[in-house]
Amino acid sequence: MTPGIRPLIAGNWKMHGTLRDAAALAEAVRAGAPAGVDLLICPPFVHLHVVAAAMLGQPVAVGGQDCHAAAKGAHTGDVAAVMLRDVGATHVILGHSERRADHGETDAGVRAKAEAAIGAGLTPIICVGETLAQREAGEAEAVVAAQVKGSLPEGFLAAGGVVAYEPVWAIGTGRTPTEADIAAIHAVLRGLTSPATRLLYGGSVKPANAKAILGLPHVDGALVGGASLVAADFLAIAGAAGP
C-alpha cells in the first residue's frame, strides 16, 4: 500500500453470467462492502445499466470493460465512453491483455480510448503487463514501461487515472509472480506516474494471497477476475485491503 492512497478493489466480471446473476452478485457485494476501501464492479455491457442503477448512491462504483475512442458514429458493436457515463458508470477498464490479444488493441489505441474516457468524465484503468516469454527474456520491466509510456494520454495523472499491472501469464492461471517481482514492477510504475496514482495488481488474486500482495509497496489495490464472481471471495479480498 501507499500511505495516503485509499485502496481500490475492482472486479472485472468479463463475459460471465446472466442479468439475474449480475444483479444478485452486485447486491451481495453492496451488502458486504467494507469501510475504508473503494469497491468497483465492471459487469458486461448489457448488464451495466441495471447494475449501475441498483448501485446508485451505494458504496460500490460501476465501470465498463472497454469503450470506443469516438464519442459516436458508425462503429457496430462498440460503446462510447459518454454512453457508459450516461448509464451511471464512473470507471472504464482499458487495454486489458484479453482485448489486446483478441482485438489487436495497441498502446496508441488504448491512449485514444483513455482520452475519450477522461473527456466523458470517466476514470480510466489502463492495464499493462508482460507475457511469459517477455518475463523469461528479462524484458518485463521494459515492456511494462513502454506500455505505460505509449498508453497513458496527457492529463491521465491529473484526471486520477489508474494503472493496473497484470502479467498476462498470471491471468486466470492460478500462477502469480513473486512478491519481489510485483514490487519491482510497481516501483517502475510509481516512477512513471505520480505519488498519488493508484496502482493495482491483477492476476490470480484470491482471498489466500490478497493480504500479502496488497501489503506490498506501491500496490494500492487489485483488479480481480475470477474471484470477483464470488461475492464472498471478492469481499474477502476487499477486507484484506482495509484498515
Decide whether 82 or 95 has the Cβ nearer to ligand LBSJTCU2. Answer: 95
Contact indicator for 119, 159 with CB cutoff of 8 Å: no
Nearest approach in angstroms of CB 71 to ligand LBSJTCU2 is: 25
* Coarse DSSP helix, strand, coil percentages of the chain, rounded to the nearest 5 percent: 45, 15, 40
Alpha-carbon dihedral of residues 52, 57, 60, 64, nearest 10 degrees? Answer: 30
Binding of ligand LBSJTCU2 by 117 (CB under 6 A):
no
Binding of ligand LBSJTCU2 by 241 (CB under 6 A):
no
Tell me the per-residue interface mask from 191 to 210 with ligand LBSJTCU2, x by CB under 6 A, - otherwise: -----------xxxx-----
Active site residue 96: yes
Active site residue 68: no
204 carries a ligand binding annotation: yes
Contact indicator for 163, 200 with CB cutoff of 8 Å: yes
Cell 441498483 belongs to: 54
Binding of ligand LBSJTCU2 by 235 (CB under 6 A):
no
88 carries a ligand binding annotation: no
Contact indicator for 212, 179 with CB cutoff of 8 Å: yes
Contact indicator for 185, 144 with CB cutoff of 8 Å: yes
Contact indicator for 96, 67 with CB cutoff of 8 Å: no
Single residue of 92, 116, 122, 171 touching ligand LBSJTCU2 by CB under 6 A = 171
Decide whether 117 or 224 has the Cβ nearer to ligand LBSJTCU2. Answer: 224
Q: What is the DSSP string of 119-143?
A: HTT-EEEEEE---HHHHHTT-HHHH
Binding of ligand LBSJTCU2 by 147 (CB under 6 A):
no
Binding of ligand LBSJTCU2 by 12 (CB under 6 A):
yes
d(CA 25, CA 21): 6
Binding of ligand LBSJTCU2 by 129 (CB under 6 A):
no
Catalytic residues: 96, 166
Annotated binding residues for substrate, as ranges? 12-14, 172, 204, 225-226
Q: Which residues bind ligand LBSJTCU2 (CB under 6 A)?
A: 12, 96, 166, 171-172, 202-205, 223-227
